[in-house]
Amino acid sequence: MAVSRHPNLLTLADLTVPQIQRLLNNAHVLKTTSTPWLFPHGALPAKRSKKLRLPSQSLFNKSIAMLFSKRSTRTRVAAETSATILGGRALFLGREDIQLGVNESVRDSARVIGGMCQGIFARVGDHSELAELAEHSPVPVVNALSSLWHPTQILADLMTLHEHTEEFGVPPPPDSLPQRGQRGPPPNKYQIRNQLQKKAKVPTYELPALRPLTIAYVGDSANVLHDMLVTFPRFGHSMRVATPADKKYRAPDAVWDRVVELECDKHIKWVTDPKDAVKGADVVITDTWISMGQEDEAAQRYKDFAGYQVTEELCRLGGANPDWKFMHCLPRKQSEVDDEVFYGPRSLVFPEADNRKWTIASVFDIIIGKQDLDGNRWQKEMIDGQNRLVPQTRTLPQVVQEEVQSPGEVESPDNTNTSESDSESDSDSDVEDKKTN
């Protein structure tokens, strides 16, 4: 099996928890260092202090090809603005500009576009197109959306939950609470701004910790839910998923196999009644009932999802926690959630949408710009006539190590005793050699 010399992001199931956490923390740093209220006059100071922390410019003089065969609002705007923040440029190629696998094979398109750009951000139909694109691309490929997965959306969801620590954060120990005569609560954002303007320094603290949450998902099993299933349980959260009884509304085998592989299925409960799903829920999430390409099924889908609209009454009857919050990846239809919830104080929809920008910027920075998911030190090497970044101490993945081992190095259960006896005989022979010497 060939070892990829660059990271890709096709689904969060391919990443470890520390790698996902690194993407989230980096998104928080980018958001902090790029927030306009740090400089209320709308521009950076003319004379920059050496201590001033500016946004990463890892995409300086680099281009990202955005291959979008499906319509997009938030993902496209977030990607183009993210590339600009990082000093790069995004090239948008829509359905009219390029058709993967139609006028040109996916393999050829991957090699041609990858030779001209430093990264590919692809929003495709079938996930197999994305997998083939990543297999043959000489540069990193990031999934902007496919039929099975939507990783950048779940990164934004996690970041939004981390930011609302007043509802979901880990409570401080009693000894850490301010007592009389001690320093009071932490400074607000305006006090922080004044401190930063004085010190010309931006903090790089990590996102606040989350307590284990009960997350309810009510709606269709689509790409957004699929990446939730392989991510939320690994961060300690339990999920209850409510979908219609028809099997087509359940996760496909390709997705569920990854869920079981990561042992996330132990923290997921599948039901058909939305009231059972929202019982004790801290967060209620829904998604569109009719995805792109399913317009012909609209009438049947509206019939199947009768009673699945997220409302205050549904969550009250189901027994959701009093302070439950609502999330939706957008675009939203009123049949999915009513205006009272969507525009009310429980809604985290618009902060969630805003964080699409910062999480995509983090992905571009780490995966395409730095090509480093683990925080390794990298060095340039000449590969195929081009300068590429490779880690200074590279270790092969476990699967590759097993493949390159010689047959004699691999122990089988049947030969365990044989190997032990061999080792004993070797040790005896060593002792005899020492005696003779």
Active site amino acids: 329
The whole-angstrom separation of Cα 167 and Cα 416 is 54
The whole-angstrom separation of Cα 69 and Cα 175 is 55
CB 326 within 8 A of CB 351: no
Q: Please enumerate, as own/partner, the contacts of 113-118 that have beta carbons within 8 Å and a separation of 24 or more.
A: 113/65, 113/67, 113/137, 114/138, 114/139, 116/63, 116/65, 117/62, 117/63, 117/64, 117/65, 117/91, 118/59, 118/62, 118/63, 118/64, 118/88, 118/368
CB 133 within 8 A of CB 111: no
Task: Show Cβ contacts of residue 353 under 8 Å, excluding neighbours closer than 6 positions.
Answer: 74, 156, 330
Task: Show Cβ contacts of residue 422 under 8 Å, excluding neighbours closer than 6 positions.
Answer: none
H-type alpha helices, 117-188: 127-136, 151-163, 165-168
The whole-angstrom separation of Cα 391 and Cα 368 is 14
Phi and psi dihedrals of 240, rounded to 5?
A: -120, 125
Provide the token pair at 317: 């009857």
Provide the token pair at 51: 């201590």
CA neighbor of 88 nearest in space, from 114, 113, 61? 61
Quick one: DSSP state of residue 100?
B
